Chain A
């Protein structure tokens, strides 16, 4: 219908509304950035940078389209413009596109996953929990954890990998249970 189309760049969504969408999808956006650069501090800085850019360009977002996908495209472009972050990339452009697309599919389940994780973390043994906190709370590398625990870095990495697989399985079970219930 002539006259009703929203031209790109026009303010088609108010800034506060975009900010609310940003806050709603923050976990998945941060997860996408972290998946690409892997460094917690770098991902946190990029998240803030991307958030600001999104707010500056709020008028470009078209209501009714997928905000998460739009934000991830912003994130991908921001990351490629940031030399330091770009240097960390080991995934190909095509792989990043595939990951962004897969993120779209699971975005709606993020809050349920968050709740499930809370429950699942309570079910792992204390030593596993400590390992998780060293990695994610203190941000230690495998080598640093190995030194502190007097174990080889590779041994620590395998142990941590198994814990995460158990957590992932626990989350899947809870989500499946909720879906069935």
Chain B
């Protein structure tokens, strides 16, 4: 028997909300296949679903940069893309885009085009990534690959006749370069330097009037763009910088020194230096928002530390955190080990509390903020800084989340894979002297171990 309209709509809503069980899925398919009125009702509800998304998302303060309508830039990009087909039939591709995600654009002959997997990257093309964008570029017939993270701009020279040549105008670039012919080296220029390699791995970054080079394998030759001093040969594990004053080798960094290590799996208690605090969600946007000491949010049980909503205020969710008040070193690393918990959000902050510092948020599962993102939440605002929305795979064992501050450069890794790299301005000191926090945002969270290191 067919359901009445009310039952049918309820079934369609359960489908749209992702909560249909197997039997209901079969029922819905059967109805759609055999009952034209049901298919029409489904279509009407789908339109409602889409219009609600369009209307509500358009009003949200923290709207994503990638959105299909209502934004002149996107509409213009769609219209501009009308010339795409013609442009693709130019000379054969030297390289192609691989695994693009987020806000990524390719500029060809002045036209800004979104990037699809496998899309040809041609001499003269420019690649731009936004705060949540990234992609890899692979060269044909060899294993050379470039990884362009967020907030970067890379330009391929129009003339590739003397080897692969490109320019990193801003942001970062990681290069894994297969052996190249001696007379056709791989060359990356920046505003301050020119690096030349015949086969190696290295990373370059351009920011604040300076180019930084770190070499992973092999050797890289780096020279000032304006000639100047003799070029430097930078070997594996070494770094160099280049700016208006020329090129110089960077002093080697010492090893990391552990300043705190706690492993709840082996029965360690919560160290006194990590103070449990809580702010209910209702206060987060208020001018008098603050974290208050609340030992009830952190409970040790079965080899994990469970952070949860305040027991003193069971009516509300909020931000639960362990805060560390020692002075923040210039180079600091926080490592958190935790089980796979879809939908739960780990938030690590550096330079203060979630209200005063930079937040690094990790969330597995199919949720809006899935993946990893760096942001700030100054009063009344949400300021997204960089995002990597790639899924977090359930690796079948604990996740290791690492967040690192190196001067003004912040990086984050999930299970050894880099997710965030961003230069960010220094922040005013936290008024309460909080250097960093490890906590949960709006959800309970289980943590297995925490390490803090400095150098």
Contacts and interface: CB of A to CB of B under 8 A. Distances in A.
Given A102-B39, A137-B56, 20 more contacts: A15-B83, A16-B82, A40-B368, A52-B78, A52-B81, A56-B85, A91-B28, A94-B32, A99-B42, A102-B40, A110-B47, A117-B55, A132-B56, A133-B56, A136-B56, A139-B57, A150-B314, A150-B315, A161-B17, A165-B9
19 contacts: A27-B54, A30-B68, A31-B43, A34-B46, A40-B53, A45-B66, A52-B81, A90-B25, A91-B29, A94-B33, A98-B32, A110-B47, A113-B44, A137-B57, A141-B343, A141-B366, A144-B443, A168-B9, A168-B48
Contact of A165 (B10, B40, B69, B75): B10
Given A27-B54, A98-B36, A138-B368, A157 B14 contact: yes
Contacts of A23: 69, 75, 78-79
A176 interface: no
Given A56-B84, A98-B33, A105 B46 contact: no
Given A28-B47, A168-B45, A95 B29 contact: yes
A144 B367 contact: yes
Contacts of A32: 46
B49 A55 contact: no
Contact of B317 (A22, A114, A143, A150): A150
Given A34-B53, A138-B368, A147-B443, A106 B81 contact: no
Contacts of B328: none
Given A94-B33, A98-B32, A55 B78 contact: yes
B48 A137 contact: no
A7 B114 CA distance: 29
A141 B16 CA distance: 11
B18 interface: yes
A65 interface: no
A85 interface: no
B368 to A, nearest CB: 4
Nearest to B48: A168
Contacts of A40: 53, 57, 368
Indicate the size class of the contact surface on chain B. 35 or more
B442 to A, nearest CB: 6
B13 interface: yes
A35 B10 contact: no
Given A23-B78, A102-B43, A138-B368, A157 B13 contact: yes
A66 to B, nearest CB: 15
B317 A147 contact: yes
A28 to B, nearest CB: 7
Contacts of A105: 40, 43
Contacts of B49: 31, 34-35, 164
A73 interface: no
A148 B368 contact: no
Given A138-B60, A141-B18, A168-B48, A101 B39 contact: yes
B19 interface: yes
B293 interface: no
Contact of B51 (A27, A99, A147, A154): A27
Given A55-B78, A92-B33, A117-B48, A44 B67 contact: yes
B256 interface: no
Contact of B68 (A48, A57, A98, A161): A48
B51 A160 contact: no
A92 B81 contact: no
B42 A102 contact: yes
Indicate the size class of the contact surface on chain A. 35 or more
B156 to A, nearest CB: 21
A149 B99 CA distance: 37
B379 interface: no
Interface string A29-56: 0111011001111001101110110011
B225 interface: no
Interface string A100-141: 011101100010011001100100000000001101111111
A12 to B, nearest CB: 14
B20 interface: yes
A121 to B, nearest CB: 7
A157 B11 CA distance: 11
A35 B443 CA distance: 29
A71 interface: no
A106 B13 contact: no
B10 A161 contact: yes
B52 interface: yes
B57 A136 contact: yes
B207 interface: no
Nearest to A136: B56
B57 A30 contact: no
A63 to B, nearest CB: 16
A4 B368 CA distance: 51
A130 to B, nearest CB: 11
B43 A164 contact: no
A128 B29 CA distance: 30
A35 B315 contact: no
B291 to A, nearest CB: 19
Closest 6 CB pairs of A and B: A15-B82, A139-B368, A31-B50, A137-B56, A35-B46, A136-B56
A79 interface: no
A43 to B, nearest CB: 8
A157 B51 contact: no
Contacts of A49: 116
Chain B CB count within 10 A is highest, among A48, A94, A101, for A48
Interface string A151-162: 001100110110
B84 A52 contact: yes
A171 interface: yes
